Amino acid sequence: MDVRREALLTAAMELIAEGGPKAATVRAIAQKAGVTAGLIRHYFTSKEELVRESYRWTMDKMTLAAVTALPDVETNPVLRLAIFVAASLQPPVVDRTRVGLWAGFMHGVQHDADMRAVHIQTYLGYRDLLETLIVDLQIEMSPGGHHTAAISCNGLIDGLWMEASTVPEIFEDGEILTIGLRSVGAILGVDLLAAYLAHEKSPQ
């Protein structure tokens, strides 16, 4: 990605996380990114497009952080799912700035069609990856069961992510991770926590 475009996306993201979408004025974004306001028009047709793309970029980076944990682990499908869930419930995915950005955009998601489309696309991107990992477990389910399980697990992960990012100080170290692995595992009937702990203890 172009360094200046990335700087603009990062600046918009930080401003929205700190003060909501209204804080991300063209002048404020340019100042925070260390560029001229006119440069924004070079990369984006409007401030609204820049704001939408900063949201997409942030959500995609969260999914990517979970995905990039997968290639280096063995092909055991239980372990792959455990690693994916664990990555979704730890830094850098669990982060105050990211949950602040997410919260700042929720009004726009409800009232702006383009923002809603970005939200749906990023949600489905993560959920579909989760469903693929669930299918790989080869657990027998009723028709549509894997899809329903992915929605259930995604909702659980989202809730834990939101609380861990918002008020991390009220949880013990590793508490959210343990709850997440146990709970997703309980939904699917597999021991994700045992698989994850065994992997963490094994020589890397």
Predicted confidence (pLDDT) per residue in 134-189, tens digit:
999 999 999 999 999 999 999 999 999 999 999 999 999 999 999 999 999 999 99
Per-residue model confidence (pLDDT) at position 2: 85
> Given pLDDT bands bounded at 50, 70 and 90, which one contains residue 72?
low
Measured CA distances, 168 to 42, 162, 172 (Å): 39, 10, 8
- Rounded to two decimals, the pTM is 0.89
Contact 130, 188 (CB under 8 A): no
∠ CA 73-89-154, nearest 5°, is 95
